[in-house]
Amino acid sequence: MNTNHPEAGAGAEKTLPTVSLTQAFWFWLKLGFISFGGPAGQIAIMHQELVERRRWISERRFLHALNYCMVLPGPEAQQLATYIGWLMHRTWGGLVAGGLFVLPSLFILIGLSWVYIAFGDVPWVAGLFYGIKPAVTAIVVQATVRIGSRALKNSAMWAVAAAAFVAIFALQVPFPFIVLGAAVVGYAGSRWSPATFSGNAAGHDKANLSSVPALIDDHTPTPEHALFKWSRLARVVAVGAVLWAVPMMALTGILGWDHTLTQMGWFFTKAALLTFGGAYAVLPYVYQGGVTHFGWLTPSQMIDGLALGETTPGPLIMVVAFVAFVGGYVKAVFGPDAVFLAGATAAVLVTWFTFLPSFLFILAGGPLVESTHGQLGFTAPLTAITAAVVGVILNLALFFGYHVWWPQGFAGSIDWVSVVISLGAAVALMRYQRKVIHVIAVCALVGLAYRLFV
């Protein structure tokens, strides 16, 4: 079959109506406002809408794209939206899909961050966050269980997860090295024991049950714009380098290398390039830099930021916008009379530097991925990386539990009310399958009542 022929997909087009970029725009805009629930929830929404309901893409093509996005550093749900948008409508389709996945969350978080930092000492606001923090601890525990149930299918995966936990908890091994080690194990495992490392990244092993063909079906040839060409790769990389270098050089030249905004741009560029495994895996790295090294915010504020990220649509990694807003606001980088402008500017800049690599990974790497359907050597490292992420997220859950349940450290007394709220949230999430936003809302009201009336 000649995949370079522009008419190769005509057969599929006769059975399904085409989808214009305008139609896709309105769908991606809607998704940007309803994509709650973290990466798992967002991917589930896209699967339901794009695979099952609208039939824009087949199950197998959807999962193959997801495999690639989970291997990449950065937010896999946003990258998956970018990939599907690009596959359907070229570069503009990818930019629209990925951009609208982020922008609603950015504007909402800027507003919520301002309310938090400006009015956080007001008793009723403090009470709400007193209840939200224990709920966040339960949410991270749920993420550990959810990803673990999907990834730890055999003793080898359990061993990878355990090794990752020991490496980050006891040995303080940087997360990128853990991911690299897991990828090497996965690749070697694909040669040594293929069956062990052939797990499916999305937890779906069944075939597509729908008999209705998809717009991009299993056997639909790769469209011309998605075929690999060295000239196209070079062009994408060059444009991406310019889009990164111009704002970074402007920040350095105008403000200086040591300025807060410049350091934010450089730090979150590294975070975007060096952190794998989704938002929960990124958070320890962001904490290490934002709290410990630069002092942009406190540990308590970091947990509050994660709570805000959980209650807004869009990628959970948008917590970086909260970190940047608080840092820019507190540091008053534009002077004491422009603290909101400082925070908002920092949030926008950090969002740019965090998500720019995600677009480049898809636009540059997508054509290569389209030529790797069904290759175990490509998917096996993902299986091992996903198992390692379970160990890393478990470490994050312990980190949050320590700061919430022992707010003064182990030397102080345990906060039993926070423990009870965490346990109640965990039961609601894992036993009764309640939605995250509902659990956070109830816990916030419990915290408010306790602080105001007890």
Q: Confirm whether 324 is domain-assigned.
A: yes
Can you say whether the dihedral through the CA atoms of 440, 388, 318, 127 is positive or negative?
Answer: positive
pLDDT at 325 over 90: yes
pLDDT at 291 over 60: yes
pLDDT at 436 over 80: no
Q: Confirm whether 49 is domain-assigned.
A: no
Report pLDDT for 385.
79
Tally of domains within the chain: 1
Average pLDDT over residues 61-66: 80
pLDDT at 3 over 60: no
pLDDT at 437 over 80: no
Contact at 8 Å (CB) between 261 and 345? yes
Q: Confirm whether 218 is domain-assigned.
A: no
Q: Confirm whether 352 is domain-assigned.
A: yes
Q: Confirm whether 89 is domain-assigned.
A: no
Highest mean pLDDT among 127-131, 158-162, 178-182: 158-162
Q: Confirm whether 216 is domain-assigned.
A: no
Q: What percent of the chain has pLDDT over 90?
A: 35
Q: Confirm whether 276 is domain-assigned.
A: yes
Top pLDDT among 312 and 355 is at 355
Which residue range(s) make up the domain with 253? 104-204+227-453
- Tokens at 236, concatenated: 């994408």
Q: Confirm whether 321 is domain-assigned.
A: yes
Contact at 8 Å (CB) between 349 and 312? no
Report pTM. 0.71
49-57: long-range contacts, CB 8 A cutoff, minimum separation 24: 50/84, 51/208, 51/214, 52/210, 54/19, 54/27, 55/16, 55/210, 55/212, 55/213, 55/214, 55/215, 56/19, 56/84, 56/88, 56/214, 56/215, 56/216, 57/84, 57/87, 57/88, 57/214, 57/215, 57/216
The span from the CA of 247 to the CA of 253, in Å, is: 10
Cβ count within 10 A of residue 49:
15
pLDDT at 1 over 60: no
The span from the CA of 216 to the CA of 58, in Å, is: 6
- Tokens at 13, concatenated: 């087009």
